[in-house]
Amino acid sequence: MSNPSMPLLLLLLFSHFMLMKIEAKSNVHIVYLGERQHDDPKLVIDSHHEMLAKTVGSKEEASKLMVYNYKHGFSGFAAKLTESQAQKLSETPGVVQVIPNSIFSLKTTRSWDFLGLYNLLYNSKLGEGSIIGLIDTGIWPESESFSDEGLGPVPSGWKGKGFNTSGTIEFFSPRDANGHGTHTSSTAAGAFVKNANYKGLGNGVARGGAPLARLAMYKVCWNVKGGQCAAADILKAFDEAIHDGVHVISVSIASEIPLLPEVDQHNAIATGSFHAVAKGIPVVCAAGNDGPTSQTVQNTAPWNLTVAASSTDRAFPTLITLGNNKTLTGQSTYIGKTIDFTGIVYLELDELYTASAEGKNEALLLNATLVAGKVVLVFPSAPLRVNLTRVKAIGVAGVLFARNPAYDFAHCTIDFACVEVNPEVASQILLYARSTRFPVVKVLPSSTFDSKLVSPKVAIFSARGPNSIAPEILKPDIAAPGVNILAATSPISPFSFNGFDVLSGTSMATPHVSGIVALLKLAHPDWSPAAIKSALVTTAWKNGPSGSPISAEGTPIKIADPFDFGGIVNPITSYIFQATYFKMLRDSRIENIDKPIISKPDCQVLTEKLYSNLCFFFNLYTSN
């Protein structure tokens, strides 16, 4: 096999120290200047240093304080400033906003067959010639999913630099320690990998949506508290991606609640994506994982394509038989031996735990005398951060979690019978356990089940509308597979199995759409980002393969509505769709809108008065 690092055209590293500083209340600020005033990046940089020098006293001091220059897609810089310096800069002519740095977070085989990508895939030559930019945690380039076998020359429009990862062991580099970026990258554009599986489950050929597309990874997220990403790094990634010539940008990142308006000074994704879309680069973003609560959808800027998560026609069922011969179904990745009939225990919260040797309530341990040799039923009222290694060590036979299986199995990945059952099934098990003196249960290992009878649903965790910032803009725009997605991961991830993992989240749904967008741009090079969005949203599935309406998980389960999703992405009909184009009208027409979604003053703040017509375009587009 030839060098697997070559498809990774750019592995761009952003400042780890910035996250470290943020945690220590850093004074990094983003000075946003809107559109560039010069075409020459050197002149743009010089103007930044000159502006900062006037504030801090000298060019030497300005150089020490400068962190980033945004010089390609838009103009601005990140610098370490005191509050008084930031205030002084904000009053400088030409400065649109001075933005305090902020933190964003990650929104963590079969799915492509489920979507039926074949016509578009082959008419687009498997994505050959396309470049997908991902803003994420990095990548593990040696994964089979990133083999360069069958790839042609680097596309001529590429302006970035390659990164040879041979011998790289330092993780202050684009290498992925988390696994999230590797997973999203292989979902969008992974090569064909035979016999891909997770502990024998889901065995088959893994691939991405555009297997011959190139990947440009912009590492902005670090393995801190599960994956955190600094706003200054995110803006730098957008700036470089615009310059490098990527064809689509995939962002499996979102802010935390409370949500931020598109023109809010903290909303780096909205600002960066605005400039990308204005230059013809579609931006695909995660909707967030705070569902099923309403008004939690994130990345709501109308120019973004915001992706919700759905299940597919695949499940990993685990059969559970009670002592009364009733068989129920859960889901897990357990592939060990059958647990023959053994006792089942449901413990109230105060019984489930006992204080540690030090007597600290926060150091909670399972009560071994009650649970050894038995299967334990755990309801959500008990914390899900049960230490499964400890549970296994004290002799517990298995754990049944009363938790919707739409979540991933992250806490159930050790070789141990850890099964997720929905609350209704758990209630049946509990009623049985309380109705007999010696309740017993049998647990079989998991299997893989693919069938059109498994109707897709909007995942319970997928963030919901209405859009809390601008209810007139329906969000999410589209849904895609994001539940139990098998894809490549970093081999040092604690949940890696032969370089693969099963993850769930709108993070996993986003690269499905990014891969499809890359193919659509190849098939229809004259389509704008708005035309691509129109084609995808207009043709999305509202019914599952069986013909029944797609439902949305929650309490109770219901038929999915426009606030749950925009339909499940349908690459077949979007490819042949005759996209509707919307004409950009003159700036003067903005005043004629009765209720613009984004006000003219706000648009001018975002774009420094240079893209007011584009703001009107999006108002017209979304209102229609």
**Residues catalogued as catalytic:** 136, 180, 507
Q: How many residues does the chain have?
A: 624
- Residue 491 tokens read as 């081999």
Among 495, 515, 138, which residue's Cα sits nearest to residue 305? 515
Is the separation of the CB atoms in 269 and 299 below 8 Å?
Answer: yes
Alpha-carbon distances of 472 from 82, 335, 476, 621, 624, rounded to whole Å: 39, 48, 12, 11, 10
Neighbours of 64 (CB within 10 A): 11
Q: Alpha-carbon dihedral of residues 463, 466, 471, 474, nearest 10 degrees?
A: 70
Among 31, 20, 29, which residue's Cα sits nearest to residue 80? 29
Alpha-carbon distances of 399 from 213, 373, 392, rounded to whole Å: 42, 11, 10
- Residue 372 tokens read as 């050894």
Helix axes 231-244, 268-278, angle to 10 degrees: 10
Amino acid at 227: G
* b/e map 205-219, b = 16+ CB within 10 Å: ebbbbbbbbbbbbbb
Cα–Cα distance measured from residue 571 to residue 618, given in angstroms and rounded to the nearest whole number:
24
- Residue 270 tokens read as 């909205």
What spatial distance separates the first Cα and last Cα of the chain, rounded to whole Å?
A: 51
- What residue has token string 């960066």? 272
Q: ∠597-469-615 over CA atoms, to 5°?
A: 30
Is the separation of the CB atoms in 240 and 12 below 8 Å?
Answer: yes
Helix axes 600-607, 612-623, angle to 10 degrees: 130
* b/e map 236-251, b = 16+ CB within 10 Å: bbbbbbbebbbbbbbb
E-state strands within 253-338: 253-254, 283-286, 305-310, 314-315, 317-322, 327-331
Amino acid at 504: S
Cα–Cα distance measured from residue 239 to residue 77, given in angstroms and rounded to the nearest whole number:
11
Is the separation of the CB atoms in 286 and 172 below 8 Å?
Answer: no
DSSP SS3 for 61: helix
DSSP SS3 for 448: coil
Cα–Cα distance measured from residue 40 to residue 52, given in angstroms and rounded to the nearest whole number:
19
Cα–Cα distance measured from residue 340 to residue 144, given in angstroms and rounded to the nearest whole number:
39
